[in-house]
Each structure stands twice: as C-alpha cells, then as structure tokens.
Structure 1
Amino acid sequence: MTGTTFSRAELVEAFAGFEATVGRAAATRDWDPWVDQYTEDVTYVEHAAGTMRGREQVRPWIWRTMENFPGSYMTSFPSLWTVVDEARGVVICELDNPMRDPGDGTIISATNISIVTYAGDGKWRRQEDVYNPLRFVAATVKWCRKADELGTLPDEAAQWMATYGGGAR
C-alpha cells in the first residue's frame, strides 16, 4: 500500500498525462520531459538494465537507450490496455514499441508490461518494465532483415545485426 489513496479519476488523468508525455518524447526525441515526470527519488526497475534509483540514474539510461539503434527506430509507445489499481496507486499497462516502417508499410514491434506507481501531483515514484528481451531481439532482427531485403538497412542497424543478430541477410 502507498499510504495514500488516489481516486480512480486522478490516476486515469495522471496516466493520460504520462502517455502524452511519452508520446511527445517519442515525437521530439527529447527524453528529459519523460524523466521529469518521475519523482527525484524514483525507483526504475528495468529487467535487462537493472534497478535505477533517482532521476539522474534514469536520465542517461533513457537517452542512451532511445537514441541508439534499435531504440532510435521506435516511433511511439502506445498502451494497448491498462489496469488501474486505486488501492495501491498503480497503473499496469501493456506498451507497444513499434519500429519505423522499413520501406514497405510493414509494422514490426514488441510489447512490454509496465507497472507505474503514482506519487501524486502528476509524478510517478516507481516504474517496473517486464518483458522478454529475446522478443525485442527477434523483432529487431525481423526489422533488419526486412530493411535489408528492401535496400533500406541503415549502417547502424547493419552494425547491430553483425553484433547481436547473426549478421545481415
């Protein structure tokens, strides 16, 4: 329990703000407003990267993750569904992570479950991302192979494939 109970309406409104901020960050590639929606002492659990404590541990991680391939090719992070737990001040959602069109209209993505805990005043005090990293690798490999087939594979993606995906097709 958080010790503070937030109404469903407040949680829904705060999560709408969260999604809008994430949407703007994806569109502008400015990740600072995304980080700033967390409390100074946020705990961010990212199963592949580990647990970060405080905004200033989260900030360099999100910039590095989202400004390098494959994160730099993810275009948005819409929630596919949400569950609001008023008693705990938590919103649980499944986020989609679609990648750019490789050149023929194909949409390739992977999803994760995010659990965000509200602190009040539009801020979030905890986030945990749960996913299978191999699904993200498989989606990225699929995207790279499609882009290679279409002749649109950028150098950074070819380098990623050589390192993590078994090389380009």
Structure 2
Amino acid sequence: MTGSTFSRDELVEAFAVFEQTVDRAASTRDWDPWVAQYTDDVLYIEHAAGTMRGREEVRPWIWNTMETFPGSYMTSFPALWKVFDEDTGRVICELDNPMRDPGDGTIISATNISIVTYAGDGRWCRQEDIYNPLRFVKATVKWCRKAQELGTLPDEAAEWMAKVTR
C-alpha cells in the first residue's frame, strides 16, 4: 500500500485507540473489541499460526490463543517503541508480552514486532506479527520453572511444560 491519505495525526490517534482497546481486552479477557478494530476483510499474518483472511477467521484464533496457556497468562501487550509511516499508513512496533507474576514479583516476557496498516475510520486492514516462536517457548518454560519452584504452577501450565520439554 502506498500513497496513504491519512495524516500523521490521524495515524497516531488511531493507533492510540488501538492500544487502548488491546489493553482493555487484555484486562477484561474479552477479545471481540480487539477483533472489531479490523476491517471485515483484514489480512492477518501470524508467522507461527499462518495467514487469516477476514475478522471471522481472526476471531476464533485470537480467542483460542489468548484463552489457552500460555496466552491466557499474558497480562498486557504494551508497545515498547513504535514508528508511524504515514506514506503507507502503517505502524511498526515492538510489543511486549509479559506473563502473570508467578508469585515472587518476577516479570517474564517475550516480544514481537507487529506491522499494522490503517484503513481509516478507526479500522485496520492488515497486521503482521513477526517473532521467533522459540523465544516465546523459552520465556514460557522459564515462567513454568519459576512457578514450579514457588509452588504456584497451575495444572494447565504443567501439562504444557511436559509436552514441550520432552
């Protein structure tokens, strides 16, 4: 996409709303408002999960991902930095994915790069998440081991860890 008709101010404002909606979704665990920010025909590229076309493909994926361990233990998705490219209508950012406190105040997380493309009217027509899945596995195993050490490891996390550390 080139020749965006969106001003920098509009792009910055729209992304601020996007971040607020994502933050609210993470705190309420209601992922529908997050999905509602995309156009009906959104192209969502998730390097580990594949390519989804349309909100109705994104919706079940995000609900399953975020309500199943380890996604269900991620508490927020703050942007550590962001770049606004008004020529393409894109925002490129690094998102943190911190997990719940395992019981001693430890913060364990992994990051990803996201590129979201603005379509106007508060909607986003494309998102691509770029990351190394092994870094997420490593962070999650670290979280599980810390929780195990503290005696706070839930059954679903223990089952997950048993599968990935065989």
TM class by shorter chain equals over 0.9
Alignment match, 1:41: 41
Give the secondary-structure state (helix, strand or coil) at the position aligned to 2:93: strand
Alignment match, 1:113: 113
- Alignment of 1:63 onto 2:63: yes
Distance 1:50 1:3 in 2: 28
Distance 1:5 1:80 in 2: 27
Alignment match, 2:78: 78
- Alignment of 1:146 onto 2:137: no
Alignment match, 1:134: 134
Per-residue CA deviations over 1:49-84 (Å, capped at 9, x if unaligned) read 000000000000000000000000000000000000
Pairwise CA RMSD of aligned residues? 0.7
Distance 2:49 2:151 in 1: 32
Give the conservation status (yes or no) of the 8 Å contact 2:4–2:86: no
Offset at 1:134?
Answer: 0.2
Q: Structure 1 stretches of 5 or more lacking a match? A: none
Moved over 6 A (4+): none
Give the secondary-structure state (helix, strand or coil) at the position aligned to 2:9: helix
Distance 2:6 2:50 in 1: 29
Offset at 1:165?
Answer: 2.9
Distance 1:165 1:71 in 2: 18
Give the conservation status (yes or no) of the 8 Å contact 1:137–1:165: no
Number of equivalent positions: 166
Over the matched positions of the two proteins, sequence identity in percent amounts to 83
Offset at 1:147?
Answer: 0.1
Offset at 1:4?
Answer: 3.4
Q: Structure 2 stretches of 5 or more lacking a match? A: none
Alignment match, 1:6: 6
Distance 2:146 2:14 in 1: 38
Per-residue CA deviations over 1:15-51 (Å, capped at 9, x if unaligned) read 0000000000000000000000000000000000000
Q: For residues 78-97 of structure 1, what are the structure 2 equivalents within 5 Å?
A: 78-97=78-97
| Structure 2 residue identity aligned to 1:69 | F
